[in-house]
Amino acid sequence: MHDDIVKAQKIVSGSYINYTDKCFHDDSFIYKTSNERLRKLVKYYIGRKRILSVISSGDQILNTILFDPKVIECFDISSFPKYFLYLKMASVKALDRKEYLDFFFNSITTSEIYDDYYDRIRIHLDSDNLTFWDSLFDYFDWIDIYNSLLFSHEVYSSNDAIRKNIYLDEDNYILLKNKIDKPTIITHQGDIMDLSNELKEEPDLAYFSNIIYYVDVKEYLSMLEKINLQDDGIILSYLYSEIDEMLLTPNFHFDKFDDSNAGVLVYEKKRRGLIIWKRN
């Protein structure tokens, strides 16, 4: 954690540049929110108890908690997103919905308001995450931290975040407050192409976001088959348009969203030598 703190402080101060020719690496920036329509995934989470997910902006995890999983094992190639996930979880506990939206998605010009929010958030952080975020807030304002290269610079708004995330609905945000501590959260840092051989849990659902676009597709599809899924388990990969049909093997299918070319590539585990799903 000491190395993470030193790097984060240098990134925020501008004395270290974490942008390289590689899209993702150990020091990659944190996504502030997802550019994926996570609401479209709700039907897949119902009844799932052991989930494996990319961390990314943390929104993927917060949406999932609403559906009462017992264990969420999550990963990211960068060392920083796990801290952001726990910051968001602590913020759900400490802030009401409007305050949460203001802190993460709206512009507030008065740094004192952000400081007040963080004072309330920090009491809900465990020791490691408290040390990480205090090491930044002790020297920088939230505006400076959030606008630094530690974070992504995509265009976003609170309305856009609400449209994509079910946990930001008014009733669901209150529900999330009551459920936020129920699942066991396990975090890993590393490339899923390597981690797939090390993960111990047996998820009944895994969500790998759009990682497929940043690796060799055939190697990625082969990696999915190595994940130690439970029977009837599924793995979801987010696609912005349909994948080449030539790459689909019998245990993969593309679930296209009704109103666009986007959708999810669904891998379903074989059981007793049979295919669980049938293409219509």
Lowest mean pLDDT among 31-40, 53-62, 184-193, 268-277: 268-277
Model confidence at 275: pLDDT above 60: no
Question: Which residue range(s) make up the domain with 103?
Answer: 2-190
Asked if the structure places residue 223 within a domain, the reply is: no
pLDDT for the residue 260: 85
- pTM for this structure? 0.92
Count CB-CB contacts under 10 A for residue 154.
12
Rounded CA-CA distance 156/138 in Å is: 27
Question: What is the tally of structural domains in the chain?
Answer: 1
Is 280 domain-assigned? Answer: no
Q: Is residue 114 part of a domain?
A: yes
Q: Does residue 64 lie within any of the structural domains?
A: yes
